[in-house]
Amino acid sequence: MDSWQALLIWPGNPVLSVLVLFVMAIPILYGARQAMHSLLHALFRAISNPLRLGSHWLFKTAEELRLRNKMVLLSHGREEISQGIVKEFDRVTSLVQRDLHGYPALQRKLMDEITRIEEDFQKCGEVPPPPPEWTKAVAAIAKIKPSGDGLVERILEDISDSIDDVYEKVVAEYRESSKKRHNILKGFMPFWRSVDLSLNRVDKNLNGLKESAAKIDEQMEKYTQINANTEKAEHTLTSSATTLFVISLLVMLIAAGGAFVNFWLIERPMEAMVGGSEYIYGNLQASYLAAMVIIFFETLMGLFLMESLGYTHLFPLNGVNNSMRRWMVWISLTILLILAGVEVALAVMRDMIVAADVALKQELAGGAAVAAAANVGWALNIPKAAQMILGFTLPFALAFVAIPLEYLIHSGRTVFGALLVLGIRGLGFATRFLSSIVRQVGKGTEYLYDAVIFLPLIIERVLVNRGLGTAGASGGRAAFPKRATSGEHVL
Amino acid sequence: MMRHLRFIPFLALALLATSCADQRSHAQAVYMLVDTSGTYSQELDKAQRIVSYLLGTLKSGDSLAVARVKSRSFSEKDIIAKMTLGKDPMQVNNQKRAFADKIGTFKADLKKGSAYTDITGGIIQASEFLNETGAGQKTILIFSDMQEELDYKTVRDFPIDLKGIRIIALNVTKLTTDNVDPRRYMGRLEWWEKRARAAGATDWRVVNDLEHLERIFKGRG
């Protein structure tokens, strides 16, 4: 306060003192205008330039990261599709080996059946010989009108009888022949059925092949798009990875819930095994760690099991042959079974401990209400059975975590990569925005400075306009310069 | 594959190293002083209920001792029952059952109360016991009206050490004189609190509502 008072010309009138001081300072400020402008310019540039540089670097890094992500994504997609194509080809190969392998035999069978059908068909076509030629003569004689001659009538009667005999014989022969042909046709049926079945099988196999070919075509189309590095392929793969990530995360959360239940199922009996009063670090009890180790071990065995079965590809097991794989399957499955058995035992133990605790608390409370439970003894076994079932099934359920885990890891790379790019770009934008603000503030400060010394600047402009202040104008910066547009950086 | 498996022994070693890291005791030790002097000896039913509650609360590794407060209480002979719970839950239950039985027997055998009340002697004995247990949490529960009465030979007016121990006064009943002048009751509690804090006690609390025994251990770390 005292130093402020000392600055005043008339301490009793501070307003007037400040005004006089201001008027006195104006020529000095006008004289220092160019230097002050340079100083302010340099000062704000010193802040805005590094920010711009940082922003530029961030955008460049984001772009590089995006390209790298794209490369990884496409490479991963290419690998996945290659695997899909190989799998489809394997399917086609096995289909061809299994079904088309028997095609020569099937063809021979079909040919045999067709030949037989043809032969039988020809047999069906064989008609009995027509009635003898004399029947026509007899028919002509039969047309003769009765004349009353006894001899003729007798001859005619004989002829009629003979014709009747012949007719009956012919009809019988015809019937016999028809019967034979019908029997032959009846004998066709199994062959027709067999031929129909064989052709259906062929049709089914060919349809399967057609489907596989369509799938291969589809995969090949994707593969071509990936190879061409198209935006569509990138977007498809990113979107597919995001969906997969969310689904895998959801499944993992459900699995985590299962692991949590499993943990509380075995923690209590573990307390009895490793000691409830033992602590590993801070408030982490030894029993907690022991229970967690069992759960992690189960998950690990599940991981090995899935890996050995070929459902997941988290580890590079290319060097492991099939026999070793089989061994790994059996070993991990056996350990998993043992652990499931251990959990069942722990579940029983937990039930016993809880029952003992309840009994003790009842005893301490006065020893009543123990007998009431005896009537529903079977019902009391339900929680125990439920715990045992949970103890046995949860390790196997946890084993399947390997599948979503693999998808989570693979899709996580894409999702986090994309998020990182987004984050870096956001940071780059913020830095650039800040740089722009600093620059504008710098300019504003320069204008404010000019506004303070507006009076000498107006005088300078008047003099310049009259052409008298040429020397002064050429020596310094012009008052109220036009706003520079070229080379200015605006957000 | 084999390269990855090589890390397993290192992990096991790391686990072993961390397992030895925490030397801090997480166990808690509780020493309960039960006033058996004069008319207060009639409150033993409540004391037994508190012991039952404690038995239900304590876990493996915890210690519990119950001692009586009589004319001179600075003696191991005044400890009615003491135990440190084992690791096996079944064994723990048996220990608790045996402890409850001892308290029951003591209650049944107690015919009449002592003439004087040596709370300070009991507290000194309690602090010795608690410090010996090496527990992380040490608590002295004083089931008494907190009216100390000493015979002329007994000396207790010297500073005591209760560093790291919590003191909880339970069921501090009002005496007839307290009813006449409640300031006596307030003053008595204040005096004990001052004494406990001066001795280095980490906490002093009074719990009179025995329907909410969980308040005994409320806020323990």
Supply the pLDDT for residue A486.
42
Q: Which DSSP symbol is given to A366?
A: T
**Residue ranges making up the domain that contains B131:** 25-216
Subunit contact B93:A283, Cβ cutoff 8 A: no
Q: Mean pLDDT, to the nearest integer, of A8-12?
A: 76
What is the tens place of the pLDDT at every residue in A425-475?
A: 999 999 999 999 999 999 999 999 999 888 888 988 888 888 754 554 444
A283 touches chain B (CB under 8 A): yes
Q: Are A151 and A158 in contact, with CB atoms under 8 Å apart?
A: no
Considering only CA atoms, give the Rg of chain B: 21
Subunit contact A272:B88, Cβ cutoff 8 A: yes
Supply the pLDDT for residue A127.
63
Q: Which DSSP symbol is given to B167?
A: E
A388 touches chain B (CB under 8 A): no
Residue among B5, B20, B60 with most chain A CBs within 10 A, to mutate:
B60
What is the tens place of the pLDDT at every residue in A220-272?
A: 888 888 778 777 777 888 888 889 899 999 999 999 999 999 998 888 888 87
Subunit contact A276:B89, Cβ cutoff 8 A: yes
**Considering A193, A227, A261, which residue would you say is the last residue of a domain?**
A227
What is the tens place of the pLDDT at every residue in B37-65?
A: 777 777 888 888 899 989 988 888 899 99
Asked if the structure places residue A6 within a domain, the reply is no
**Considering A367, A398, A429, which residue would you say is the last residue of a domain?**
A398
Of A276, A284, A365, the CB nearest to B60: A276
**Measured between CA atoms, how close is B113 to chain A, in angstroms?**
25
Can you list the alpha helix ranges (DSSP code H) found in A275-376? 286-309, 322-365
Same-domain check for residues A267 and A365: yes
Supply the pLDDT for residue B134.
87
Separation of CA B173 from chain center: 19
Supply the pLDDT for residue B1.
43
Q: Are B123 and B140 in contact, with CB atoms under 8 Å apart?
A: yes
Rounded Cα distance, B100 and B50, in Å: 11
Supply the pLDDT for residue A472.
47
ipTM for this model: 0.73
Q: Which residues pair with B139 in a beta bridge?
A: B30, B166
Asked if the structure places residue A32 within a domain, the reply is no
Residues of B whose CB is below 8 A from A357:
89, 93
Asked if the structure places residue B69 within a domain, the reply is yes
**Measured between CA atoms, how close is A344 to chain B, in angstroms?**
18
Same-domain check for residues A263 and A217: no
How many other CB atoms are there within 10 angstroms of residue A489's CB atom?
A: 11
Asked if the structure places residue A70 within a domain, the reply is no
B59 touches chain A (CB under 8 A): yes
How many structural domains are present in chain A?
2
CATH (domain of B172): 3.40.50.410
**Residue ranges making up the domain that contains A107:** 99-227
Buried/exposed B197-210: b ≥16 CB within 10 Å, e otherwise: eebebbebbebeeb
pLDDT above 50 for A488: no
B26 touches chain A (CB under 8 A): yes
The vertex-B49 CA angle with B48 and B50, nearest 5°, equals 90
Residue among B19, B28, B91, B220 with most chain A CBs within 10 A, to mutate:
B19
Asked if the structure places residue A163 within a domain, the reply is yes
Long-range contacts at A35-38 (CB < 8 A, ≥ 24 apart): A36/A449, A37/A446, A37/A449, A37/A477
Question: Which amino acid is residue B170, in one-letter code?
Answer: L
Residues of B whose CB is below 8 A from A361:
56
**Measured between CA atoms, how close is B94 to chain A, in angstroms?**
9
Mean pLDDT computed over every residue of chain A: 82
Subunit contact B1:A316, Cβ cutoff 8 A: yes
**Considering A348, A381, A398, which residue would you say is the last residue of a domain?**
A398
pLDDT above 50 for A485: no
Contacts of residue A294, Cβ cutoff 8 Å, sequence gap at least 6: A266, A270, A339, A342, A343
pLDDT above 60 for B4: no
Asked if the structure places residue A346 within a domain, the reply is yes
Place of tokens 């004349």: A147
Closest-CA residue of A relative to B86 is A275
Closest-CA residue of B relative to A284 is B22
Rounded Cα distance, A121 and B20, in Å: 95
How many structural domains are present in chain B?
1
Q: Are B103 and B81 in contact, with CB atoms under 8 Å apart?
A: yes
Asked if the structure places residue A152 within a domain, the reply is yes
Residues of B whose CB is below 8 A from A307:
none
